Structure 1
Amino acid sequence: MSTKNNPPKQAILSMTGFANSETRFATGLLLIELRAVNHRYLELNVKIEDSLRQFEAQVREQLQSKLGRGKVECRLSLKSDTASSNKLALNPAMVTQIAQTLQDLHQHFPEAQPVNLVDILKLPGVLQSEAVDSETLGHSVQSGLAQTIDELIAARQREGEKLKQVLLDRLQGVREQIAIVKPLLPQVIQQYQEKLTAKLREAMQADDDRVRQEIVLYAQRTDVDEELARLNSHITEMDRILTAGGPVGKKLDFLMQEMNREANTLGSKSVAIETTQVSMQLKVLIEQMREQIQNIE
């Protein structure tokens, strides 16, 4: 059986999720945190400390390549190890510059007291921490972010499976409501027809146009077969979409609009309390599904 005729199923992802990671490098830890909530499209908010600013474009590209929709906040920061931060070394360029300056000053002030070396060490830039190789740090950012994105997607997938089950449960509720109302229709039509016949008998003096108007109104108000057929069609399509998976949030949202339209029409054509109650229950179920669908990518 060909893959073309049977495309592989994809996971349904929620747009809500959280993930974080710590990636060790030579002088400390790279901390990455991702938070995501629902949104109409992908909106990135990258909060990155100045020492990592050079990697912002790389971070945005990675996020855009793996995430579809959602409002995503990404935080990156460095945390130095205590032992590593204590490893200080002289800054050769700064020491050379200070030595040359002192030599020039000594020519003008030969009687001046010798400079205390401790005071020189306190000057800004004389001592520096062990430098972090930019290429190595860039690799840490790339691998650490990839791991964190994978964890975020896994969290969104777990939440997506829960949302899918909620939708399937509500969809079953819609089926049950249709199953309730469909057998009632013949009886409802008959009861309404009897009422209409009684009214017409009382109005025997009415002309033919009046009679025809009553009959047309009767037909319009009781014929809901088309609405029920469309509801069943939407249920079948929703089942197919949930089974196929993938980024289906927008498709499902459109289906909710169509199903709600049919439920409203069913209510407006109702001539019995039973069908009115079914219409109301359908709208409740559809609204519950719509709320959940807002969180699906």
Structure 2
Amino acid sequence: MSVYSMTGFASAAASLPDQGGEHGEDSDTPSASRKGLSGSVGAELRSVNSRFLDLSFKLADEFRGLEPALRELVTASFKRGKMEFRLQPQRAADAGWPQPQPDQLHTLARLEGMVQNWLPKAGPLSVNEVLNWCRAAAPAARLEEVAMQAARLCIEAMKEAREREGARLVAVLQDKLKGLKALAAQAEPLVPQAVQRQQERFVQKYEEALKAVGGTVTPEAAQERALSEAAAYALRIDVDEELQRLKAHLDEIGRLLKKGGEVGKRLDFLIQELHREANTLGSKAAALELTQVSVDMKVLIEQMREQVQNLE
């Protein structure tokens, strides 16, 4: 199963099929297929990351009634992301100026005469008003069908866009995982080395203290005390448990990326746990090398967090 990003953009358009325009049409109904008219709808969908699914719609007036159906389509396809859906009628490329048809002009003349019979003071139609009427889109019911078709095409395109972006993010995360695993392997031998150095330092200090007090403490007692101090020190700086948990989290992240699906929230939780273990590793660091490992880990973890926040 694929991993999907929450960021993406998609657009699509759909049009009414050509219906001929000259055979058997009602003279009172403008044909969408005639020159100068448009039966085409354009859809755009934009998405950015969000904790939940946050939808907003910017629809042309004739499509306001489609919002519930559009919302159902989107929620069935996406679970997270702040998404903006736009749906607008489109004009044909050659429809800058419509070409009025005789049946349209006949209808307008009849309607104008009817209005003026009842309202003698009503003014005549202007050329601009006539052209705007002739530019009217397809019948509402048919145009809504086209709008829903454009919406479905746009949603499918968005799925593909988010899948492509998700694949890119997975590749980045897997690369960071390799880096963290390498750092964890680098940290493991550093702790015994630090304990050994500290043990030698304790023995040296006690020997110096023994000479300073004139031999009132036996060398055996001094060495025993040094070893005891070294053991206590080893317990304080032991990070084996943290490293084991860190490696377990890394394995789980790798498993989730391979499994795919809606993994964003779980990955975000695991990233927090990784950061906690890296912080503990740094606070227990007894050697400069271990401190540097902790810093490098936190840099990689933060880079992973930025990418994980974009996953669905």
Question: What's the TM-score once normalised by structure 1's chain length?
Answer: 0.81
Confirm or deny that 1:228 pairs with 2:243: yes
Q: Check if 1:96 corresponds to 2:114.
A: yes
> Contact 2:203/2:227 (CA < 8 Å) preserved in 1?
no
Counterpart of 1:79 (choices 78, 90, 100) is 90
Distance 1:169 1:121 in 2: 69
- What is the aligned counterpart of 2:306 among 284, 291, 294? 291
Are 1:60 and 2:71 an aligned pair? yes
Structure 1 Cα separation of the partners of residues 130 and 147 of structure 2: 29
Partner-residue secondary structure (3-state), 1:120? coil
Structure 1: distance between partners of 2:269 and 2:170: 16
Partner of 1:186: 192
Counterpart check, 1:280 vs 2:298: no
Q: 1:194 to 1:274 in 2, by over 3 A?
A: same
Listed as ranges, the gaps of 5+ residues in structure 1 are: 1-9, 106-114
Q: Does 1:171 align with 2:177?
A: yes
1:212 offset after TM fit, Å?
Answer: 10
Cα distance, 1:122 vs structure 2: 3.1
1:140-159 matched pairs, under 5 angstroms: 140-159=146-165
Q: Match for residue 53 of structure 2?
A: 42
1:135 alignment partner in structure 2: 141
Q: CA RMSD in A?
A: 3.0
Structure 1 pair 85–213 and aligned structure 2 pair: CA distance change class (3 A): farther
TM-score by length of 2: 0.78
Matched position secondary structure for 1:169? helix
Q: Per the alignment, in what secondary structure is the counterpart of residue 188 of structure 2?
A: helix
Gaps of 5+ in 2: 17-31, 211-215
- Residue 123 of structure 1 and its aligned partner are, at CA, apart by 9.2
* In structure 2, distance between residues paired with 1:124 and 1:184: 83
For residues 185 and 213 of structure 1, what CA distance do their matches in structure 2 show? 17
For residue 41 of structure 2, what is the aligned residue in structure 1? 30
Given the alignment of the two structures, is residue 247 of structure 1 paired with residue 262 of structure 2, yes or no?
yes
Retained in 1: the 8 A contact 2:3–2:261?
Answer: yes
Q: How many pairs align?
A: 273
* Distance in 2 (alpha carbons) for counterparts of 1:201 and 1:264: 36
Partner of 1:18: 9
Query: Does structure 1 conserve the Cα–Cα contact (< 8 Å) formed by 2:195 and 2:234?
Result: no
Q: Secondary structure at the match of 1:31?
A: strand
Quick one: which amino acid aligns to residue 17 of structure 1?
Answer: G
